[in-house]
Every structure is written in structure tokens, then in C-alpha cells.
């Protein structure tokens, strides 16, 4: 009774911009799975790489690479893991990406994946849904409540389950179409005007209670 839940909303506008030539050249010949966020261990990047290693040579995934967008943090070096998994040429780290370029990255992705073990909310999956991209998402903390049926949710700490789900998203056309349609519908339930209205109402109730 003393808690008000105020959801957030998508943050990256769909601007229709094309991928910059430098990135088009870098990803030439491959479809890419996009991850956007920090590199901290709780974000699950290492889990993603382990899962991808299981399907990288499977039918329907041989032309796929992973693109990681987000400020690099040298405290968490993944080079040794990628070398061990023979993924160093299949994973591209882009560092910080400006919002306009980020919109193009979302829009051109084959899929968006978010294997985080903990999120207070989780904005990137909604941004991906807004861009009409199928989303594969962790089933942990706040994420299932945010994505609803608009994403395929999976246990990120089960490499086999994670790998199987990733392969399905990449190869099952019917599943992809379903996720895109549901994702677009789901993200429409969140707006910043709604966030603002809920926040103002929360303040009003708090002030009214304090004045009694």
C-alpha cells in the first residue's frame, strides 16, 4: 500500500537512418544479433558468448555474428573467453554508440538479445521491440514483467536452453514474425506521458497524506 510502481518507456526514437558505411563494411556478409548495455558480469555477456558458441556452426547461424554496443569496461575482458570459444572474429565490440546510430543498429539487427541476470527495469528490450526486432530476453528479475509476451524469455544460465532459443529466433520465420508483432504491441503500452502522469499522481497522494 506504500509503494507506487511507475514504469518507464522506450528511449530510442525510430529515425529510419541507414547503417553508417563503416559498420556496413564491418558486418559485410553476416547478419548480426545485437546486445546493448554495460559489460558487467551480471549483464550476462559471458553467458551469451557461451550459448552462441554452441550454435555458431549450426544450419541457419553460420552467417551470424554478435554486435555489442555499449561503453567498454576494461575491468571485464572477454578476449580470453572469445579466443577459447573461437569467436573472436564473430563478436564485434562497438563501444558507446550515439542515439541516431543506435536506432539504425536496432532496425537492422536479425535479433536482439538481453541475457541480464538482474535489471531494475530493462529499457533495451523495449527499444528493440519498438524497432520491429525479435527479442530474446532473460527470464530474471523485472524483465518478464516488462516484456510480457513480446519476447521469448529464457534461463540465461542454462547454456543449452539459451543456445536452443537463440537458434530458434534466428531460423524460425513464424516465431520471428510472432515476436515482432507482439513486441510492437507490447511496447505501445509504455509511454513517457504515462510515466509522468503516474509520477505526479504519486506525489499528489504523498503530499495529501503528509498534510493530514
Tell me how far CA of residue 60 lies from CA of 50, 79, 126, 130, 190, in angstroms: 18, 25, 26, 25, 34
Share of the chain above pLDDT 70, in %: 100
pLDDT in tens, 130-185: 999 999 999 999 999 999 999 999 999 999 999 999 999 999 999 999 999 999 99
Is the pLDDT score of 84 beyond 90? Answer: yes
The pLDDT of residue 72:
79
Is the pLDDT score of 210 beyond 80? Answer: no
184 vs 32: CA distance, rounded Å: 20
Share of the chain above pLDDT 90, in %: 75
Q: pTM of the entire structure? A: 0.92
Over residues 111-133, the mean pLDDT reads: 96
pLDDT band at 66, cuts 50/70/90?
Answer: very high
105 vs 66: CA distance, rounded Å: 12
Is the pLDDT score of 2 beyond 90? Answer: no
Residues in the chain: 212
44 vs 141: CA distance, rounded Å: 13
Query: Taking Cα atoms as reference points, which of 87, 69, 61, 59 lies closest to residue 20?
Result: 69
Greater pLDDT, 186 or 79: 186
**Residue 49 CA to chain centroid, in angstroms?**
15
pLDDT in tens, 10-31: 999 898 888 888 788 888 888 9
Q: What is the dihedral of CA 61, 47, 97, 32, to 10 degrees?
A: 0
pLDDT band at 121, cuts 50/70/90?
Answer: very high
Amino acid at each position: 500500500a506504500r509503494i507506487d510502481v511507475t514504469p518507464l518507456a522506450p528511449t530510442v526514437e525510430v529515425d529510419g537512418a541507414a547503417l553508417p558505411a563503416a559498420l556496413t563494411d564491418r558486418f559485410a556478409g553476416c547478419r548480426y544479433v545485437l546486445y546493448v548495455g554495460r559489460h558487467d558480469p551480471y549483464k550476462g555477456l559471458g553467458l551469451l558468448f557461451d550459448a552462441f558458441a554452441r550454435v555458431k556452426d549450426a544450419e541457419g547461424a553460420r552467417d551470424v555474428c554478435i554486435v555489442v554496443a555499449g561503453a567498454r569496461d576494461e575491468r571485464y575482458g572477454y578476449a580470453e573467453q572469445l579466443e577459447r570459444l573461437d569467436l573472436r572474429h564473430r563478436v564485434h565490440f562497438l563501444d558507446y554508440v550515439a542515439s541516431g546510430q543506435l536506432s539504425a543498429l536496432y532496425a537492422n539487427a536479425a535479433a536482439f538479445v538481453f541475457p541480464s541476470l538482474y535489471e531494475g527495469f530493462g529499457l533495451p528490450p523495449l527499444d528493440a521491440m519498438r524497432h520491429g526486432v525479435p527479442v530474446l530476453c532473460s527470464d530474471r528479475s523485472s524483465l518478464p514483467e516488462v516484456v510480457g509476451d513480446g519476447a521469448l524469455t529464457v534461463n540465461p544460465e542454462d547454456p543449452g536452453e539459451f543456445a536452443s532459443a537463440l537458434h530458434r529466433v534466428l531460423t524460425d520465420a513464424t516465431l520471428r514474425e510472432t515476436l515482432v508483432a507482439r513486441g510492437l504491441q507490447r511496447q505501445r503500452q509504455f509511454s513517457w506521458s504515462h510515466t509522468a502522469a503516474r509520477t505526479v499522481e504519486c506525489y499528489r497522494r504523498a503530499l495529501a497524506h503528509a498534510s493530514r
